[in-house]
Structure formats: structure tokens, C-alpha cells
Amino acid sequence: MTDAPASVEDFFAQYEDLACAVIDDERPNTHIGLEWSNADMVEGVLEMMDWESFDLFDDMPFAEIYEKGAAIHTLAYCYVAFLRWELWLAAIQQKIGDQDFNEKACAHSELWYLRLRDRYEAFIGGEMTDHPWLH
């Protein structure tokens, strides 16, 4: 059994190199039907939100954005959820950190990616996709 980290910062420190690799990845995400790379998504988030930077480990108001966000904010947070999903999936695959935590964080990020994507598509297409297992 490994020692527990002394703080939240220490816990997330073990994921920092992986997070950098995820956000810098310039390969298109064709495996899920997206032409944009993770690096493209990062640039998109920064532009859409007029941010200088953001941290994948920060608490994100996904539920609030889903309920009340404008289309552009919904898309930005959809990208953030996707990047987090990629991070936790990579952590699982590479056996970095706490696997129970990684699995829960991965599922949570996937859920918000799918919900926010559906919400954004409703903004641009006028109709919400109904996934009974998701919404």
C-alpha cells in the first residue's frame, strides 16, 4: 500500500506530466469523430472564455454551465470535460496514481463531456439529444 499524499496538491502532482502531455497533444481526435486535437481544444477554450490559462484539476461548474450557460461557454466547458476525460483515461491506461479515483474521475468527465456536447448541439441544432441513460 502506498502512502497517502499530504495534500490535494501532492495528490494531483503525480498527474502533472500526464496532464501536460494530454493538453499538448496535436493529433486529431478522430477516434471519437473529432477533427480537433487536444491542443486545438485548449486554444479554443482560452479564446472562448477569454482566459490566460486554466487547470484541468480545478473544480469546474459543469452543472451550472449545462443549466444556464450560453452556447459558447457550453462548448468551452465541453472541451474541458473532454480533456479531463482524456487525462483520466490515460492515467488508467498508464497506471498512474490511484486507479479507483481515476476510474471515477474518468466516468465523471465522460458524463459531462457527453451532456455538454448534447447541450451544445441543442443550441446549434435546436433539439436536445435524449439519452435516457445519460440525462
Give residue-wise pLDDT tens across range 44-56.
Answer: 999 999 999 999 9
* Domains of the chain: total: 1
In a domain, 133, yes or no: no
- According to the model, what pLDDT value does residue 77 have? 98
Predicted pLDDT at 1: 43
| 18, part of any domain | no
Q: What is the pLDDT of residue 32?
A: 86
Q: Does any domain span residue 7?
A: no
Tell me whether residue 102 is in a domain. yes
In a domain, 64, yes or no: yes
Q: Region of 25 please: left (phi>0), alpha (psi -120 to 50) or beta.
A: beta
Residue pLDDT, tens place only, 87-132: 999 999 999 999 999 999 999 999 999 999 999 999 998 766 666 6
Distance CA 112, CA 79 (A): 10
In this predicted structure, what is the pLDDT of residue 10?
A: 85
Residue 103 domain-assigned (yes or no): yes
The parent domain of residue 97 ranges over: 23-125
Mean predicted confidence (pLDDT) in 62-91? 97
The pTM of the full predicted model, rounded to 2 decimals, is 0.88
